Every structure is written in structure tokens, then in C-alpha cells.
Amino acid sequence: MHRIYALREVREENARTRTLVCDGPLEARPGQFVMVWLPGVGEKPFSVAGDDPMALMVVGVGPVTHAINALKVGDRLWVRGPLGQGYELEGERLMLVAGGYGVAPLRFLAEQALRRGMCVEACVGARSAADLLLCSDLAALGVRLCLATEDGSAGERGLVTALLTGRLAAWKPDLVCACGPVPMLEAVERLCAQQGVACQLSWEAEMRCGQGVCGSCECRRPGWLACVDGPVTVG
């Protein structure tokens, strides 16, 4: 069943990305997702970027996301969820690794980790400085930031996983939580295995129903569905 929210605030993060803040809470864990429906337009999954009030970060890449990003304060959207498996905090030192818009659930996770008294660092990567998202939000929370861009326009030039390699050795986190493109997650998984560090990864997949019925989000191995078995896995 869908719950109807009205938008309380719309923040522009960059040319393609908006953060939508709703008029009520949602009891959810970081890493879980919701299905957002607009009548006559369609339905898409989004990571929960905040729980009280509920917030979503939407990147305009197709008809549904462009329509959602065109909403204004006071407009309504229909939400189903939360769905899926989220992150589970453990230890004292938490390293976040974000690629592109994978930073959305990790800001939410950082907030909860800091509330528990954990030390939090974040390696955030993107194609360019203009594509970096929520860095000011993370810094305002007190998260130590390490940035990487593929074109070198902010932070170090190269991939975010190169940053992670150095920080795993220097800082020795108890847990790494990552969200981003599949090649990045696979690299994070390998690096953490080599260093003996626990990792939890949020896997991207095409989701249609969000309930394990359609099978469209099968990934990683036969029968593994991101919507019910994930998105987050413990490695």
C-alpha cells in the first residue's frame, strides 16, 4: 500500500539532482529503499536518504525521475516501503565509500553512526567536481572527507577505490560500507578481503516490483534478488 507524502522542501544538489524532503517520517534503516509512484507517470525505486523527515535524492535520468524532479513544494508523491535489507552498524571506526549518487544512503548512515559515537570517514568519488554530491552535508556532520574525481577537478585524480586502498592501511576501519556502481563495489569487496576488513555493499539492479515477484533485479548469482536479498550484503 502506498503512503502519500507532500513535499516540504526541494533542494538542488547539481544540474541533474534534487533532494526531496517530505512532510512526514518513515521508519527505515540506511540502505533500504522505497518505490515512488506518480499517477500517470510510473514508479521507480530510490534509496532512503533520511528518515525523519523522509528524504530522497533523485537524479534525473529518464521520464519518471525527470517528472519527480519537476515537483514543487506542496506537490504529492506516493511511496511504498521501506523495502529490502539495510546496513548494520558494528565496531567503532566506519569508512564510507560512495561513487556518484551512491552517496545518498551513506549520508543517512553517517548520521546514525555518529549518533552512536562512532568515528566516520568517507571516500567520495565522481567524474568531476560538479558531480560530487552531499559533500558539504557530510562535512557539516563532522565526517572526515577524502575526495577523488576522474578528471582531477576536485580531490585526487582517479578512482575512489585508489583512495580507499590508502585509507584502509592508514586508518584501519572496523567496517566499510559502500554504495555505487557495480565495478566499484566489486573492487571494494576485493580490497576489503585483502585487508581483512568487514564490508557491507549496496548493489544496484533494475527493480520493477520491489517485492521479489518479477525477478528483474536478479544479480550477483542465480536467484539472488536485490530487492529482497539485498540491496545490502555483508561481505
**56 and 112, same domain (yes or no):** no
How many Cα atoms sit within 13 Å of 56 on the Cβ side? 31
Model pTM? 0.94
Residue 101 to residue 227: CA distance in whole angstroms? 18
Average pLDDT over residues 198-202: 96
**140 and 40, same domain (yes or no):** no
**78 and 102, same domain (yes or no):** no
Q: Which of 19, 50, 83 is the last residue of a domain?
A: 83
**109 and 162, same domain (yes or no):** yes
**112 and 198, same domain (yes or no):** yes
Confidence label for 216 from pLDDT (cuts 50, 70 and 90)? confident
Position 235 pLDDT exceeds 70: no
**108 and 187, same domain (yes or no):** yes
Position 201 pLDDT exceeds 70: yes
101-112 confidence digits (pLDDT tens)? 899 999 999 999
- Residue 56 CB coordination number (10 Å): 24
Report if residue 110 sits inside a domain. Answer: yes
**45 and 129, same domain (yes or no):** no
Report if residue 161 sits inside a domain. Answer: yes
Average pLDDT over residues 54-81: 96
Position 205 pLDDT exceeds 80: no
Which CATH number does the domain housing residue 145 bear?
A: 3.40.50.80
**49 and 104, same domain (yes or no):** no
Per the CB < 8 A criterion, the answer to whether 200 and 90 are in contact is no
**126 and 41, same domain (yes or no):** no
Q: What is the pLDDT of residue 222?
A: 78
**186 and 107, same domain (yes or no):** yes
Number of domains in the chain: 2
Q: What is the pLDDT of residue 212?
A: 80
Residue 172 belongs to domain spanning: 93-202
**122 and 46, same domain (yes or no):** no
CA distances from 9 to 23, 29, 54, 124 (A): 8, 22, 11, 25
Q: What is the pLDDT of residue 157?
A: 96
Position 62 pLDDT exceeds 80: yes
